[in-house]
Amino acid sequence: MSGIEGKVVVITGASSGIGEATALLLAERGAKVVLGARGSARLEALADRIAALGGDVVYARTDVKRRVDLSNLVGLAIDRYGKLDVLVSNAGVAPISLLDEIRVEDWEEMIDVNLKGVLYGIAAALPVFRKQAFGHFVNIISTTGIQINPTMAVYAGTKNAVCTITEGLRREAGDKLRVTGISPGFVSTNLADSMTNSQVKSQINDQMNKMAIQPAAIARAIAFAIEQPAEVDVNEIVIRPTAQV
């Protein structure tokens, strides 16, 4: 048996990109995957695909801006499988722009999804993990928080906040829980779809087309962290295209 087989894994932002690739890979390796995302049609199609390949999967429409949705998604895992091994907090948006544009609604969206969504996941899963005396948080961060560029201030701010919370959680976790932060660089996803500035969106898409790596690369990093023995805690992984500075 692998270190993944039989584990129950909740994934947010599961209907596309990194979330979709992670769901497919973990299900292939024998995990029971519990999928959440806002896009109901894509979520259902992914679940059907996994089931057709022999995987064990359930799903629920989930908006990480709503605390109750995260509670319900974790509850679905417990109700269906009787435990929760891993929560992968992957949902994210990036309507980036220069601060001078004063796109306050976009700032709030990034704070609500990228930061509060992770906190709501922790609030839902941490009591379960404490009761079980095992569990693993995997938070998807970003290399944007490592090298902060124009237009990225608020997005990078949310990701750096998640980085800080992830490390704080690790230090509070004790010897039974594991905590991993994974920072991807340019990945070929639909993240640019959330961008409201057309010029910035075009620039990001151009950069993605030139150098982006496939979501499966990040999925493999997530799988690596999950499959380690219980006494091994992989805390930080930074993974970016070779061509990315």
Domain extent for 112: 8-226
Q: Is residue 32 part of a domain?
A: yes
Confidence of residue 245 (pLDDT cuts 50, 70, 90): confident
155 is catalytic: yes
Buried b (16+ CB within 10 A) or exposed e, 112-148: bbbbbbbbbbbebbbebbeeeeebbbbbbbbbbbeee
| Amino acid 209: pLDDT | 84
Q: Is residue 135 part of a domain?
A: yes
Confidence of residue 201 (pLDDT cuts 50, 70, 90): confident
For the chain, what is the mean pLDDT? 96
| Amino acid 23: pLDDT | 98
Q: Is residue 3 part of a domain?
A: no
- C-alpha to C-alpha distance for 108 and 94, rounded to whole angstroms: 11
Q: Is residue 78 part of a domain?
A: yes
- pTM, two decimals, is 0.95
What are the pLDDT digits (tens) for 59-69? 999 999 999 99
pLDDT at 211 over 60: yes
- How many percent of the chain have pLDDT more than 90? 89
Q: Is residue 18 part of a domain?
A: yes
Q: Is residue 204 part of a domain?
A: yes
What are the pLDDT digits (tens) for 148-190? 999 999 999 999 999 999 999 999 999 999 999 999 999 998 8
| Amino acid 190: pLDDT | 80
- Report residue 230: phi and psi, to 5°: -55, -30
pLDDT at 192 over 90: no
**Number of structural domains in the chain:** 1
| Amino acid 45: pLDDT | 97
Output the six-digit token pair for 91: 């949902």
Confidence of residue 21 (pLDDT cuts 50, 70, 90): very high
- C-alpha to C-alpha distance for 25 and 38, rounded to whole angstroms: 21
| Amino acid 2: pLDDT | 73
Q: Is residue 188 part of a domain?
A: yes
Among the listed residues 14, 126, 116, the one whose alpha carbon sits nearest the alpha carbon of residue 64: 116
pLDDT at 1 over 70: no
- C-alpha to C-alpha distance for 245 and 228, rounded to whole angstroms: 30
Under 8 Å CB-to-CB from 22, ≥6 apart: which residues?
11, 14, 88, 90, 215, 218, 219, 222, 223
What are the pLDDT digits (tens) for 91-102? 999 999 999 999
The DSSP annotation for 172-222 comes to HHTTSEEEEEEEE-SBSSSGGGG---HHHHHHHHHHHHHHPBPHHHHHHHH
Sheet holding 236-239, edge to edge: 56-61, 32-37, 8-12, 86-89, 135-140, 177-184, 236-239
Q: Determine which of 107-111, 194-198, 226-230 has the lowest per-residue pLDDT on average.
A: 194-198
Name residue, tokens 């995997």: 138
Q: 32-37 and 8-12 as β-strands: parallel, antiparallel, unpaired?
A: parallel
- What DSSP character marks residue 116? I
Options 59, 81, 120, 155, the catalytic residue = 155
What are the pLDDT digits (tens) for 109-142? 999 999 999 999 999 999 999 999 999 999 999 9
Q: Is residue 234 part of a domain?
A: no
CATH code of the domain in which 36 resides: 3.40.50.720
